[in-house]
Structure 1
Amino acid sequence: MVFQDLREFISYLEQTNQLVRISTAVDRDLEITEIADRIMKGPADRNKAILFENVEGFPIPVAINLFGSESRMAAGLNVNTLDDLNHKLTHLIDLKVPKGLRSVLARGADILTALKSVGLKPKMVRSAPCQEVVITKNPSLDILPVLKCWPKDAGRFITLMQVITRDPVTKIRNVGMYRLQVLGPDRLAMHWQEHKGGAEHERKAQEEGITQIPAAVVLGGDPASMWAASAPMPPDLDEYLLAGWLRGKPVEFVNCVSQPLEVPANAEIVIEGYVDLTEYADEGPFGDHTGYYTPKGSFPVFRVTAITHRENSIYPATVVGIPPMEDVYMGKATERLFLPLIKLFLPEVVDYHMPPAGVFHNLVLVKIKKKYPGHARKVMFAIWGMGLLMLSKAIVVLDDWVDVHNLYEVAWQTLGNVDWERDILVVHGAVDQLDHASSKQSYGAKIGIDATAKTNEDGYSASWPEVVQMSPEIKSLVDKKWKDLGL
């Protein structure tokens, strides 16, 4: 089902018993977080999206946990299950094993061509729901129910947004999900981490002597566009092109009223402005998706020049913290969608999994069709060279029969198959900017573990033992008797 905007998605969730409305008065400071956290970590049958209709001091309702289950995340991306994303992209690019580097690069270019060729480029409209109300004189963030999520947060943060900027040189659009701390009625701190597209725009602007980067903070819109802001796309691929492909119809855009940018026409709220590279402010602490507070840091200031919104708008938000939380399923969608791209460059990869407890970048489990000694190490180095997977703190490589989504099986194989002197690789390189354990910011040690079965070619002198398994004949016999056993 293709959703035109956030309210259509909310209506669908309500019709399918996946949303609860709360009319009891709640405080935007801490209280919404505590309620949402209990729902996210509670029983699956009670894990629903929440619409807080009575936020104290505000006429605007707050929607949260919209993507907090596989079924809701899948519906938002127009698929039945998240694994369908893998099949859908595989079909689009007609994945084949490339021969040689030139062929690999050509296939990578094919992805961009394929996405552009489906006729789903964003299109412009003259009037838009997101501009039913236009505020250009003294626009104030005070009209929005921005949340304070955790007790030691430095303030209130916008948490579920699409930040739109354009490359200062190439003018190619980038859409990112960067939290913003409210510093005042018309000022926000733009927390784009140094490995993200927005930070690259900042660096380029500084090199060109540019002091202002036009930007727009978009709240709401269709769910595919909302999610696409979090997707680690290549720098020359518009995230809204991906959203259009997922939806099966293009994202509609309207010109901003105060900045030379275009924004999704069906958004709920748009905060227009510019990132001022002459002013930096302290941002944080913030209770982050790592489950720890991210410490205070210096980030550029976003200055508000206009706020536009729908009549009776809805404020979307998310809460991050100790997993599992809503972002688990947003990350799972990314994991499934990008499997074909990993296979494009590493055809030996069968599947991979980034467990929620690893908060995306701390642990990557990979299963491969092993063909030669050192194959697992080749895969480790390749993954550390792929986009934001370079931040992976631990990579475990397993044989192709291991279910990487079964953590019990993974632990059994890893702990039983590893000689800790022979099968461990420790390297130094880029780590996530939020990693608090590394000795230097954004730089530290990473580990690779070869948990595959070993042969003589791997330097293993003995005979690798066989896994204990029942014979197929007995399994079939018991299958036939099972109903009669009364078990």
Structure 2
Amino acid sequence: MTNDNQSLRGFLETVEQEFPEEILRIREPVSRNLEMTSVVFELDRLGKSPVVIFENIEGTKTPVVTNIAGNRKLLAHCLNAEARNLPTAFRDRCQNYIPCEVVSRGAWDDIVLEGDQVDLTQLPIPFQFSVDAAPYITAGQICARDPETGVDTTGFHRLMLKGKNRLGISLHSRRRMYEFHRRAEARGQSLPAAIVIGTHPLHYMGSMVYAYPPHVRKYEIIGGLFGEPYRLARCGVNNIEVPAGAEIVIEGEILAGVHEPEGPFGEFTGYASYRSTQNVFVAHRVRMRRDALFHSVVSGMSRDHILISCITREGEILNALRRNLPNVKAVHVPHKTCGAFLAIVSMKKIAEGEPKMAMLTALGTELYTKHVIVVDDDVDIFDMEDVMWAVATRVRAEKDIFLVPGVKSAIIDPTSDPKTFTVTKMGIDATAPLNENFAERLTISDAQRTRARQILGNAGVTA
């Protein structure tokens, strides 16, 4: 058995001990149809984003854990960072590749189900939105190897429940897993793969990194986030290595030359997505902990679904920008813009043309990013009202907005061309001009704010 500090349950134990207000246990019976999704969205409406454990799911004894990645404070704690410095901490750590450690046995090897015993319908897979075609495994990390190089990868792909041993899968990100399957299919072979359910948030975060050398393993990036070798164990399909501390492992293959309807599914865009590569995963074996937890990511525009994407994109764009623009201060990808489509860049402008350089770099770094706003460093990029104030008062549309048509974008972006999946990308320079006597911004000093809070506190007004 492995040490659990790199596991989902190790994370839950840390939250309960150090942030008890950020974990919510629901003991009331809850349906797997729609109710878990509704609870998390209602918490978000109330401005709360705790980890949620549904302990009593109707029809199963397996608890469901969700919203593990919806809270910047908790994710920052995992990296020993402050919440506002999370993208920088992520950027620095994920470039420190640490070789993995292979242990003899995974924690998921307590129970092994094979052949007719495999029945994925017995897992508490939520039906999340009424538009969804079926229940979906949303926290399934697909692990597979490149059939040509042998280098493996891990990442999220939505998994539609189609039967006891059959899942629909979409590889629409068209990144490594899509290419691995294409290469296997070109050889007339299915792609051996394992679905891993129940991992630590740092695995979740590291698996979202896209810009890294082809010879590097995602697990080495995740090890960099942990600051120590990531512990893996070999499962029973093609000796694929998977996280040793995971809860459940489903072993099987993504079929070659087989396509079946998959979707619609409530995607991170806030819309039902009908676009899919329509691939099929067949399960041959299930391994799990004796007391397994089922991890689910609430889909749609939940923070659980989007926040990690915000942080990883912030870190990757920041990394690209600082190679040539050291005066860039920070990057923010807001949750409410689907954690993908808008990036806001803060910089200390020292020469005209730098904002456009930053915009072009950001648009070229991240496939999903299609709008970039650059602001001066006096603007709080985490406050959309402040950003929109800069746009409203500093942008001269005829010179500060530029468009780049025909750029490759995300297949599930509802504005992308349905045949080519291209969009027109846009940059907005919301910085004040350097060589003009531009209007001076009104400010209130920190000392004045402190005194104001004291006066209000004495009058009985508190935050």
Closer/same/farther in 2, CA of residues 296 and 433 from structure 1, 3 Å limit: closer
Kindly indicate whether the alpha-carbon contact (under 8 Å) linking 2:255 and 2:280 is maintained by their aligned counterparts in 1. Answer: yes
Say whether residues 1:465 and 2:444 are aligned partners: no
Say whether residues 1:409 and 2:386 are aligned partners: yes
Closer/same/farther in 2, CA of residues 56 and 84 from structure 1, 3 Å limit: same
Deviations 1:64-86 (A, max 9, x none): 112221222223x3324344444
Q: 2:89, 2:305 → 1: CA distance?
A: 22
SS of 1:283's partner is coil
1:40 equivalent in structure 2: 44
1:36-435 residue pairs with structure 2 within 5 A? 36-44=40-48, 47-75=49-77, 77-88=78-89, 111=95, 115-116=96-97, 120-138=98-116, 139-206=118-185, 208-234=186-212, 236=214, 237-323=216-302, 325-335=303-313, 337-338=315-316, 339-386=318-365, 389-428=366-405, 429-435=407-413
With 283-292 and 400-409 compared, the bigger mean Cα shift is at 400-409
* Structure 1 gaps, min length 5: 94-110, 457-462
Closer/same/farther in 2, CA of residues 91 and 125 from structure 1, 3 Å limit: closer
Closer/same/farther in 2, CA of residues 425 and 133 from structure 1, 3 Å limit: same
1:446 equivalent in structure 2: 425
Q: Which amino acid is the alignment partner of residue 423 of structure 1?
A: D
Q: Which amino acid is the alignment partner of residue 28 of structure 2?
A: T
2:9 equivalent in structure 1: 7
- Report the alpha carbon displacement of residue 396 of structure 1 after superposing the two structures with TM: 1.0
Closer/same/farther in 2, CA of residues 399 and 280 from structure 1, 3 Å limit: same
Say whether residues 1:19 and 2:23 are aligned partners: yes
SS of 2:357's partner is helix
- Report the alpha carbon displacement of residue 455 of structure 1 after superposing the two structures with TM: 5.1
1:98 equivalent in structure 2: none
TM-score between both structures, scaled by the size of structure 2: 0.88
Q: Which amino acid is the alignment partner of residue 353 of structure 2?
A: G
Q: 2:194, 2:226 → 1: CA distance?
A: 22
SS of 1:175's partner is strand
- Report the alpha carbon displacement of residue 155 of structure 1 after superposing the two structures with TM: 0.4
Q: Which amino acid is the alignment partner of residue 310 of structure 1?
A: R
Closer/same/farther in 2, CA of residues 154 and 464 from structure 1, 3 Å limit: farther
Q: 2:451, 2:16 → 1: CA distance?
A: 43
Q: 1:326, 1:283 → 2: CA distance?
A: 23
Kindly indicate whether the alpha-carbon contact (under 8 Å) linking 2:269 and 2:301 is maintained by their aligned counterparts in 1. Answer: yes
Q: 2:140, 2:197 → 1: CA distance?
A: 5
TM-score between both structures, scaled by the size of structure 1: 0.84
Deviations 1:358-384 (A, max 9, x none): 112221111223343332222222222
Q: Which amino acid is the alignment partner of residue 32 of structure 1?
A: M
Kindly indicate whether the alpha-carbon contact (under 8 Å) linking 1:286 and 1:295 is maintained by their aligned counterparts in 2. Answer: yes
Deviations 1:425-452 (A, max 9, x none): 1112012211112333521111111112
Kindly indicate whether the alpha-carbon contact (under 8 Å) linking 1:269 and 1:307 is maintained by their aligned counterparts in 2. Answer: yes
Q: In structure 2, which of residues 25, 28, 33 is the aligned counterpart of residue 29 of structure 1?
A: 33
Q: 1:249, 1:279 → 2: CA distance?
A: 40
Kindly indicate whether the alpha-carbon contact (under 8 Å) linking 2:120 and 2:164 is maintained by their aligned counterparts in 1. Answer: yes
With 367-376 and 147-156 compared, the bigger mean Cα shift is at 367-376
CA RMSD of aligned residues (A): 2.7
Kindly indicate whether the alpha-carbon contact (under 8 Å) linking 2:166 and 2:282 is maintained by their aligned counterparts in 1. Answer: yes
Q: Which amino acid is the alignment partner of residue 386 of structure 2?
A: E
Q: 1:360, 1:479 → 2: CA distance?
A: 33
Q: How many residues align?
A: 448
Kindly indicate whether the alpha-carbon contact (under 8 Å) linking 1:427 and 1:445 is maintained by their aligned counterparts in 2. Answer: yes
Closer/same/farther in 2, CA of residues 194 and 6 from structure 1, 3 Å limit: closer
Q: Which amino acid is the alignment partner of residue 78 of structure 1?
A: L
SS of 2:356's partner is helix
With 130-139 and 339-348 compared, the bigger mean Cα shift is at 339-348
Q: Which amino acid is the alignment partner of residue 179 of structure 1?
A: R
With 84-93 and 311-320 compared, the bigger mean Cα shift is at 84-93
SS of 1:279's partner is coil
Kindly indicate whether the alpha-carbon contact (under 8 Å) linking 1:83 and 1:336 is maintained by their aligned counterparts in 2. Answer: no
1:103 equivalent in structure 2: none
Q: 1:219, 1:349 → 2: CA distance?
A: 38
Q: 2:93, 2:284 → 1: CA distance?
A: 40
Kindly indicate whether the alpha-carbon contact (under 8 Å) linking 1:220 and 1:226 is maintained by their aligned counterparts in 2. Answer: no
Q: 2:427, 2:363 → 1: CA distance?
A: 10
1:102 equivalent in structure 2: none
Q: Which amino acid is the alignment partner of residue 212 of structure 1?
A: S
